[in-house]
Chains A and B, each alone.
Chain A
Amino acid sequence: MIHFKDVSFAYKEGKWAVRHINFTVNKGEFVSIIGGNGSGKSTIARLSDGLLLPQEGSVFVDEINSRAKKDEFFIKEKVGIVFQNPDNQFVGTTVEEDIAFGLENIGVERVEAKARIEQISSLLGIDKYLHGSPSYLSGGEKQKVAIASVLVMQPDYLVMDEITALLDPVSRKEVLNLVHSIAENKNIGVLYITHITEEVIKSDKVLVLHKGEKIKEGAPAVILQDMKLLRSAGVASLPSVIISEDLRKHGIISASFVDEEDLIGSLCSN
């Protein structure tokens, strides 16, 4: 479990980037954090694997405090992070070398490394690129390579910091679906950070962040129907919810719908 216990962090003294944050991510659980620019989302990503250490409160990964200097590597092995821009994360001249980098660093044997790389890259559908250069890949493919480099380390938790922000809409959906299916199959806990409302629909729970504070936590169906809450957090509401709320106010339908199909169904049945 990743456990944030009353965590506060400031880059500059007296200016809290995140304040009194509490939440947990269990193995196999998909937790999303949504918020506008400057809400503290990326700070939470960096706190979750010890890249940043909190000034107040504690971050625990499987009960190990991220401040414990001797367990630094334990936490880095348990928690894999993927960032927004895959170009900033490439180190190798071929895709394979790139994915192997982390494994070599922790001294995984060649045969074992090769097996892991083959398995993960075929899972992500990037095995055909292994011997090519990462610089010729499209944005979506690059991001899959970045995810593969983290997955070969066999983490228990994945932290995804706006990983689809620079992708086109089609690869955006593809990458998100991939993360969902990996999390499920490998029983990995995911902390998925985004500002795109649509992306949190299939999460187990959603945290809404605003100016460094968690203003709400709940099931996606509940959070996404709260247009007022989302607006105050600087996040867009789903078109399906905007339409249903407007119709509900006028007594045309009785409930609000997150799912487009459900809305259409209710409008077309009577």
Chain B
Amino acid sequence: MLELKNVFVTYDPNTIFMSNALVDISLMIKKNESVGIVGRIGSGKSTLIQLFNGLIKPDNGAVLLDNDDINSKQIDIRKVRKKVGIVFQYPEEQFFAETVFAEVAFGPKNMGMRETELKDAVFSALKDMGFSSEKIAQRSPFSLSGGEKRRVAIASIIAMNPDILVLDEPMAGMDFNGKEKLSKYIKNEIKNGRTVVFVTHNMEELLEIADRVIALDEGKKVFDGRVRDFFSDEKLIEKIGIDIPSVVRMRNKLKKYYSDIPFCRTPLEISSYLKKRYRH
């Protein structure tokens, strides 16, 4: 379990450039949750996730992982980073290894994983990200397609088997096919018990993957709750510059005539409801 207690982050303190990146943020991420973090560019999303594994330290407040303050001197930060794995934006831009295997093995090896376990960890992580054939491991990561590269980059974090997988804009720059695949594998991770936290601008993605939303605006937490409640708060949504996804919009309009229509996350959930309705 990850907890932030009254966290403040200030950039360039005591200078004229001083700005508050995060103001008094408290939140808790429990095991097995899928949380989407939303907000405008510059609202503090990326700063927030860098607190999760100690890449940034709060100026005030505390970050607790399983009840330990991760920034205290007694804590081995490497253990924190093994538990909280962060995949940054466009992670494939940082590829360096000659083979996919070496790329994915780099993290767990550094964390001190033994050779015997290493192979299993790498292949299982690649399998999690949809590479069923082991042949991929010997290819150069640079020879892969954009979508494949992204999934290899995520596998390299999953290979460390983190309790919490944090993704910063995992679908950025991908086309429909790539997104569809990646979304499937991320949902599988959640189903298999991994806690997933992701930053996104894409509301369809949020709707499909997240159970809970944390919204930031100018460094403050302005919403923390269920996805369905988030999309019904129209005032807030407008304030933080978010577009209501077409599925939610259509469902809300249908609700005027079909008062028992449930909250729907995908177009097919809407049509399934209507099909049931018309059968009776």
Enumerate chain A interface residues (CB-CB to B < 8 A).
Answer: 36-38, 138-139, 165, 168-170, 172-173, 195, 198, 234-236, 238-240, 242-243, 246-247, 250, 252, 260, 263-264, 267-268
For B41, the chain A residues whose CB sits under 8 A away are 138-139, 168
Most interface-central of A172, A243, A250, A263 (chain B CB within 10 A): A243
What band does the interface of chain B fall in when counting residues whose beta carbon is under 8 Å from A? 20 to 34
Cβ–Cβ contact A170 & B242, under 8 A: yes
Tell whether A240 pairs with B176 under 8 Å between CB atoms, given A168-B40, A250-B275. no
9 tightest A-B contacts by CB?
A: A169-B243, A246-B271, A242-B267, A36-B175, A239-B267, A236-B176, A37-B175, A268-B257, A234-B177
For A198, the chain B residues whose CB sits under 8 A away are 246
Could you tell me the distance between the alpha carbons of A247 and B270 in the complex, rounded to whole angstroms? 10
B247 at the interface (CB under 8 A from A): yes
Tell whether A242 pairs with B271 under 8 Å between CB atoms, given A36-B177, A169-B201, A234-B177. yes
Cβ–Cβ contact B249 & A260, under 8 A: yes
For A36, the chain B residues whose CB sits under 8 A away are 175-177
Q: List 17 A-B contacts (CB under 8 A).
A: A36-B176, A36-B177, A37-B145, A37-B146, A37-B175, A168-B41, A168-B241, A169-B243, A234-B175, A234-B176, A235-B175, A239-B247, A239-B270, A243-B268, A250-B275, A260-B246, A264-B254
- In the complex, what residue of chain A is closest to B245 when comparing beta carbons? A239
Cβ–Cβ contact B268 & A246, under 8 A: yes
Tell whether A267 pairs with B254 under 8 Å between CB atoms, given A239-B247, A252-B274. yes
B130 at the interface (CB under 8 A from A): no
**Option from A172, A195, A264 in Cβ contact (under 8 Å) with B176:** A195
Could you tell me the distance between the alpha carbons of A169 and B207 in the complex, rounded to whole angstroms? 15
Could you tell me the distance between the alpha carbons of A234 and B257 in the complex, rounded to whole angstroms? 35
- In the complex, what residue of chain A is closest to B174 when comparing beta carbons? A37
For B268, the chain A residues whose CB sits under 8 A away are 242-243, 246
Could you tell me the distance between the alpha carbons of A168 and B40 in the complex, rounded to whole angstroms? 8
Tell whether A169 pairs with B242 under 8 Å between CB atoms, given A246-B271, A252-B275. yes
Other 9 A-B pairs with CB < 8 A, given A169-B201, A247-B275: A165-B173, A169-B203, A169-B242, A239-B267, A243-B250, A243-B270, A243-B274, A252-B274, A267-B257
